Amino acid sequence: MIMMGKGRLAQPLARHLFLLFFWAVWLALPFIMIDDDDTKHRDLFIRLMPASLTNVLLFFVVGEWLGPRLLSQQRLKTYLLAVLGLSVVFIVGQGFLKNWLLFPEHRGVVFHMFRGMVQVFFAAALGAGYALVRHTLKEEKSRQEEQQERLQSELSFLRSQISPHFLFNILNSIVYLIRSKSSKAEPVTLQLSALMRYMLYESADAQIPLEKEIGHLKNYVELQRIRFEEDVEIRLDIEGQATAHIIEPMLMIPFVENAFKHGVGLVQSPEIEIRVKMTEKQLSFVARNKITADAAEDKDSYSGIGLQNVRRRLELLYPNAHKMETGEKDGWFEARLSIDFQT
């Protein structure tokens, strides 16, 4: 928190130092451009320096003080009128300063009025433009932060839906083994503990290494093998090596859950087929399961919260970098997912 506070303080300090440098160069420019032996103009610029400094003051009043206060209230017209009014005040003030204090020999005479007006309006316009740019950038940053907060909030909500849904389905497996008094109940319980640890802690991260997600997928499939034994033919084919890519957690599991939910039970000779292919640029995933005629006629069989959840997360996290397809063909339901890794 202290480091963040220092960073926030450093930003306006750097900005102000840049502005001071800019105006220092601007004020020094006349002295740089004139010849060294041109003492007449040099003396004139020195005597005009106090009046020139008021232009710097006008810039900071318009850009740093007045702008943030009025523009944050969406009072653009009021701000522009105030800038115009301040410009007139500074023009009159500079006229008094030059004619009565800096050049008393010209008292009562309009001295360098046109040049002074140009400089004042230039400083005011520069300050107003600076304030408008700052306000626009601030508004854009606020919109991006708000959008990011909404995105994170929606993702958190979607993940909160996944966890109980996943837990409910996996507990059915352990209950089945306990009721059948299977000797595999204890090792499966330990495996379930590892899966729950992954679900509750590791998958809570924004993204995780692809290797962990593949390992989680293997554990889940192995647990289902133990549950169904030889009643369901399960094929898991993983091609390629999990690279250093990271991925949104629990994107593939809902498809596998869906396959076991609708691919066993009343299905004759049930088969579940899962294929994963990994390359440097893409992750390809396929989950297939046999279906019955009744399941094919049920329009809601494959529209559960799991797949809808995945589809929405993909839209949020991988826009224009993913493809998700589901459909039935030749007595099989097939779900395909591909994710293009950003290089």
Whether 162 is in a domain gets the answer no
Residues 330 and 224 in one domain: yes
Q: Cβ(252)–Cβ(337) under 8 Å?
A: yes
Question: Domain range holding 19?
Answer: 1-33
Whether residue 148 has pLDDT greater than 80: no
Residues 64 and 121 in one domain: yes
Whether residue 149 has pLDDT greater than 90: no
Q: Cβ(169)–Cβ(202) under 8 Å?
A: no
- With cut-offs at 50, 70 and 90, classify the pLDDT of residue 315: confident
Residues 133 and 190 in one domain: no
pLDDT for 138: 87
Residue 33, token pair as written in the block: 């451009």
**Range scoring the smallest mean pLDDT among 33-42, 218-227, 251-260, 302-311:** 33-42
Q: pLDDT tens digits, residue range 60-95?
A: 899 889 998 998 888 999 999 999 999 998 888 887
Residues 232 and 329 in one domain: yes
The residue-averaged pLDDT of 280-303 equals 72
Residues 146 and 22 in one domain: no
pLDDT for 108: 47
Q: Cβ(264)–Cβ(229) under 8 Å?
A: no
pLDDT for 18: 77
Whether 161 is in a domain gets the answer no
Whether residue 280 has pLDDT greater than 80: yes
Residues 215 and 277 in one domain: yes
Q: Is 4 or 167 the better-scoring residue by pLDDT?
A: 167
Domain count across the chain: 3
Q: Is 169 or 56 the better-scoring residue by pLDDT?
A: 56
Residues 106 and 20 in one domain: no
Whether 211 is in a domain gets the answer yes
Q: Which of 88, 97, 87 is nearest to 48 (CA)?
A: 97
Q: pLDDT tens digits, residue range 104-128?
A: 555 544 445 566 788 889 889 999 9
* Backbone torsions φ then ψ of 207, nearest 5 degrees: -145, 155
pLDDT for 334: 93
The residue-averaged pLDDT of 16-28 equals 77
Residues 224 and 264 in one domain: yes
Kindly list the distances between the CA atom of residue 35 and the CA atoms of 18, 23, 31, 48, 302, in Å, as whole numbers in the listed order: 28, 21, 8, 18, 84
Residues 149 and 288 in one domain: no
Query: Which CATH number belongs to the domain containing residue 324 in this structure?
Result: 3.30.565.10
Residues present in the chain in total = 343
Residue 282's DSSP bridge partners are 340
Whether 165 is in a domain gets the answer no
Q: Which residues contact 264 (CB under 8 A, 6 or more apart)?
A: 228, 231, 232, 270, 272
Q: pLDDT tens digits, residue range 221-239?
A: 888 887 777 889 999 999 9
**Range scoring the smallest mean pLDDT among 79-93, 242-256, 276-290:** 242-256
Residues 192 and 329 in one domain: yes
pTM of the entire predicted model: 0.56
By percentage, how much of the chain surpasses pLDDT 70?
72
* Backbone torsions φ then ψ of 288, nearest 5 degrees: -130, 145
